[in-house]
Amino acid sequence: MENMVGKVCLVTGASQGIGKATAIALAKMKATVIMVSFDQGRGEAALKEIKSMSGNENIELLLADLSSRQSIRQLADRFKQKYTRLDVLVNNAGVMKWKQEFTTDGFESTFAINHLASFLLTNLLLDLLKASAPARILNVSSSAQAMGKIEFDDLDSRKKYSGIKAYSQSKLANVLFTYELDRILQGTGVTVNCLHPGVVRTNFGNTGSLFFKISGTLMKPFMLPPDKGAETSIFLASSPQVEGISAKYFVKKKAVNSSPISYDEMTAKKLWEVSTKMTKLS
């Protein structure tokens, strides 16, 4: 366990699954951990549990709806009002929607929560991260990025919707965002990496069809528990071994190649421009 005393860490999706396991580990390292959750009841229960397990009282819960641009901006404002530094940002929150849904801003939910939320929140906190350098940004992607394709003419999947296709696109977007952000951050002392946590035993994606529910139940014994699935996130957030390492895709705490399209700079730049417009980022 690394010593993270004095470090301020923000973890989205921290009330359950991988995010919660990441928050627990960072709390045990004595970091100040700010948990972001959509559900107040689940968030407060996780907050109490993390404090009890870690013996660390420097844990705070912030509520936010990551499908809403307004809520994300309010989250960033609340954070900056209280904290003068940010050492580690873990963009962990994610969803898989088997049925097509749209946010209050009019975007397809999977793309909005999995990509646009991380894009907007990170950019809103970028000045604070730079001021806290050396600082780290982690984007939790998935092996599904290898199947992804950025459909610029149909990012919201309005022409034809597939839960897996929408999810894969959003996870590829995480990787493209990581690599483009690294190019922008050169010389700032802020690193940004992405990762595949493994196939983890959580409630993620459990609202699918009967087939997926049954197959998911059958596969559970072969899936990783959340604390194992969080190991790469924890490693990238805290280990001296990755100090200064940036723009990498990690699996099982090792840097590996992501999909070929993820290295296409023109695609990454176009995605950045489109995301800027969609999030109304000045």
Residue 2 lies in a domain: no
What's the pLDDT score for residue 272?
A: 98
**pLDDT beyond 90 at 209:** no
> Is residue 58 within 8 Å of residue 85, measured between CB atoms?
no
Percent of the chain with pLDDT over 90: 88
> Is residue 177 within 8 Å of residue 119, measured between CB atoms?
yes
The boundaries of the domain holding residue 119 are: 8-278
R_g over Cα of the chain = 17
Residue 18 lies in a domain: yes
Whole-number Å distance between alpha carbons of 182 and 246: 7
Residue 80 lies in a domain: yes
What's the pLDDT score for residue 282?
A: 81
Question: What are 206's two structure tokens?
Answer: 């459990």
The domain tally of the chain equals 1
**pLDDT beyond 70 at 207:** no
**pLDDT beyond 50 at 213:** no
Residue 22 lies in a domain: yes
Whole-number Å distance between alpha carbons of 200 and 222: 9
Q: Please give the positions annotated as active site.
A: 167
Residue among 139, 181, 180, 170 at smallest CA distance from 263: 180
pLDDT in tens, 158-195: 999 999 999 999 999 999 999 999 999 999 999 999 99
Whole-number Å distance between alpha carbons of 183 and 54: 36
**pLDDT beyond 50 at 35:** yes
Secondary structure in 3-state letters for 117-134 = HHHHHHHHCHHHHHHCCC
pLDDT in tens, 79-109: 999 999 999 999 999 999 999 999 999 999 9
> Is residue 172 within 8 Å of residue 261, measured between CB atoms?
yes
Question: What are 73's two structure tokens?
Answer: 């901006």
Other Cβ atoms less than 10 A from the Cβ of 180: the count is 21
Residue 3 lies in a domain: no
SS3 138: strand
Residue 24 lies in a domain: yes
Residue 214's pLDDT band (cuts 50, 70, 90) = very low
Domain harbouring 208, CATH code: 3.40.50.720
> Which 8-state DSSP code applies to residue 144?
G
Instruction: Specify the residue for token string 């919201």.
Output: 156
Question: What are 205's two structure tokens?
Answer: 């994606």
Residue 208's pLDDT band (cuts 50, 70, 90) = low
**Residue 11: what residue type?**
V
- Whole-structure pTM value: 0.92
| pLDDT (average), residues 223-248 | 91
Residue 39 lies in a domain: yes
Residue 1 lies in a domain: no
> Is residue 30 within 8 Å of residue 4, measured between CB atoms?
yes
